[in-house]
Chain A
Amino acid sequence: MSSFFDIGYVFDAIPKLLNYLHITIEILLLSIFFGLILGIIIAVPRLYKIPVLKEIATLYISFIRGTPILIQLFLVFYGLPLLVGMFGINITRMDAFIFVIITYTLSNAAAFAEIFRAAIQSIDYGQAEAAQSIGMTGWQTFSRIVFPQALRIAFPNIASTSISSLKDTSLAFSIGVMDMMGRGDTLITATMNALEVYVALAIIYYVIVLLLEYGYKFIERYLNRYLVKEAL
């Protein structure tokens, strides 16, 4: 039994892997941050029904939702240098980390765009009309009436997207990024204790997801603080 699975080695591996946790977190935070910005930009043409841009946005979202993240990672890794190469810029030596951020940003943006669109459309149009009738400007209507309510509706979906995004970051090592998973790979090559390393990694991911879920629950409760509790 001892030679098959050494629990002690799992605990040995965890601190070594945690040294690389910040890379995973950086990928996650940066891709969510840029993804939120890009997601808003992509959601706009579909919300305001801007002719050609709307079709492009729909196609983009469909493509991202229709292909695995691993394929997207490879497409960006091999395709982006070619694309910017046409403009005379050479990025073939760029850090793989940047390719990963770009891929996850593009992927998250598609998911966020759909979430924003659904959330904003779920706000009753009468409210916007009412806001305008008391003399609010377009921006005031959006920032004071529509946005706070849409955020409340969108938040649980944004939270679950960010959790699946965290799990997806475990694939970044396949284009050579030295995150936790990449470090795990080198540990395995060095020690041959593959099972223990992967169990250690699974524990780390699980704990992070649990912490995130716990944190999100608090934010959700905060966002819902004005809601009247339904009488049971």
Chain B
Amino acid sequence: MQLDFNFTLYALKEISKVIPFTLFLAFTPIILGFVIGLFVAFIRMSDLKILKACANFYVSFYRGTPVIMHIFIIYFGFTNFAQEVLDISLNGIPLYVFVLIALTLNAGAFLSEIIRSGILSVSKGQIEAAHSIGMTASQVFTRIIFPQAIVAAIPNLTNICTAFLHATSIAFLISVTEITGTANIIAASNLKFLEAFIAAALIYWVISILIELISAKVEKKVTKHLRRGVVQNA
């Protein structure tokens, strides 16, 4: 058995066609999950006893179970429920929709933790100062807390982005043709598994490196004001 590099090149070309779809699958949940995460983070920092307990359970359950379970439970849960209770078939819905739902709920749990730690990283004195000059609660949040919280959260957000890119590979197990799924199809039809998966690995690797580079650039730009002063230590 010999490695067929030309086949890896061919696989690279074929797999790159699904990169946009994979990125869509990875980043839509992060954007939608951000909204969920914001709500959950607020609930967890509030005094609403019952809601708080629910939010805590949601976050801990999603963080404590593998992503593959979320995808399977959402997939079988929805299709079974529609079939048995509502008597409608969900066969027409593309499979990736279930992956999107599962990943969005997952993103909500992880992002709520990140947002919460970002918000807690803003010192109390600043909030008091903002209140003392007459800012309303919403002004304090949008002008003082949020901008600083999001900057503090950049490293964690980067990790989430790569983690979700990698999590989309699990969608292949329910036959979604993202990067891994496509690699598997190409591999199976030519019986060259290793070559195809090397191509997929290279693509994931390059995208992950790009995500890190972009985030480093963004972080450098938004923390510019922190490096200003008499001594330049950039």
The answer to whether B200 touches A71 (Cβ under 8 A) is yes
The answer to whether B198 touches A75 (Cβ under 8 A) is yes
Please indicate the chain A residues that have their CB under 8 angstroms from the CB of B60 in the complex: 210
The answer to whether B64 touches A205 (Cβ under 8 A) is yes
The answer to whether B81 touches A205 (Cβ under 8 A) is no
The answer to whether A67 touches B205 (Cβ under 8 A) is yes
Interface centre among A70, A82, A167, A181 (most CB of B within 10 A): A70
Across the interface, B204 reaches (CB within 8 A) one of A3, A67, A170, A206, namely A67
Across the interface, B208 reaches (CB within 8 A) one of A67, A79, A163, namely A67
Please indicate the chain A residues that have their CB under 8 angstroms from the CB of B162 in the complex: 65-66
The answer to whether A68 touches B167 (Cβ under 8 A) is yes
Main secondary structure of the interface of B (DSSP, over half): helix
CB 8 Å contact bits of B138-171 with A (1 = contact, 0 = none): 0000000000000000000000001001110110
8 A Cβ contacts from B46-74 to A: 60-61, 63-69, 72-73
Interface residues on A, range: 35 or more
The answer to whether B66 touches A170 (Cβ under 8 A) is yes
- Give the CA-CA distance A71 to B179 in the complex, in Å: 10
A218 within 8 A of B: no
A222 within 8 A of B: no
Please indicate the chain B residues that have their CB under 8 angstroms from the CB of A97 in the complex: none
- Give the CA-CA distance A170 to B209 in the complex, in Å: 26
The answer to whether A5 touches B66 (Cβ under 8 A) is no
18 inter-chain pairs at a CB distance below 8 angstroms, sorted by A residue, are A67-B208, A68-B167, A69-B166, A70-B169, A70-B172, A71-B169, A71-B200, A72-B201, A75-B198, A75-B201, A78-B193, A171-B170, A174-B173, A195-B77, A195-B80, A198-B69, A205-B64, A210-B60
Count of residues in B whose CB is under 8 Å from the partner chain? 40
- Give the CA-CA distance A135 to B54 in the complex, in Å: 57
- Give the CA-CA distance A66 to B159 in the complex, in Å: 11
- Give the CA-CA distance A79 to B216 in the complex, in Å: 33
8 A Cβ contacts from A1-20 to B: 1, 3-5
Please indicate the chain B residues that have their CB under 8 angstroms from the CB of A205 in the complex: 64-66, 69
The answer to whether A4 touches B204 (Cβ under 8 A) is no
8 A Cβ contacts from A78-95 to B: 78-79, 82, 85
For residue B51, give the distance in angstroms from its CB to the closest CB of chain A.
21
- Closest B residue to A212 by beta carbon equals B64
B85 within 8 A of A: yes
Please indicate the chain A residues that have their CB under 8 angstroms from the CB of B68 in the complex: 170-171, 181
- Give the CA-CA distance A129 to B60 in the complex, in Å: 43
- Give the CA-CA distance A210 to B173 in the complex, in Å: 27
- Give the CA-CA distance A85 to B3 in the complex, in Å: 12
- Give the CA-CA distance A167 to B61 in the complex, in Å: 12
Please indicate the chain B residues that have their CB under 8 angstroms from the CB of A174 in the complex: 173
Please indicate the chain B residues that have their CB under 8 angstroms from the CB of A168 in the complex: 66
- Give the CA-CA distance A69 to B3 in the complex, in Å: 22
For residue A1, give the distance in angstroms from its CB to the closest CB of chain B.
7
CB 8 Å contact bits of A176-192 with B (1 = contact, 0 = none): 00000100000000000
- Closest B residue to A205 by beta carbon equals B65
The answer to whether B1 touches A4 (Cβ under 8 A) is no
Please indicate the chain A residues that have their CB under 8 angstroms from the CB of B76 in the complex: 194-195, 198
Across the interface, A62 reaches (CB within 8 A) one of B3, B66, B72, B205, namely B205
Across the interface, A71 reaches (CB within 8 A) one of B61, B81, B197, B206, namely B197
For residue A100, give the distance in angstroms from its CB to the closest CB of chain B.
15
Interface centre among B68, B83, B170, B208 (most CB of A within 10 A): B68
8 A Cβ contacts from A190-224 to B: 194-195, 198-199, 201-202, 205-206, 209-210, 213
- Give the CA-CA distance A181 to B66 in the complex, in Å: 11
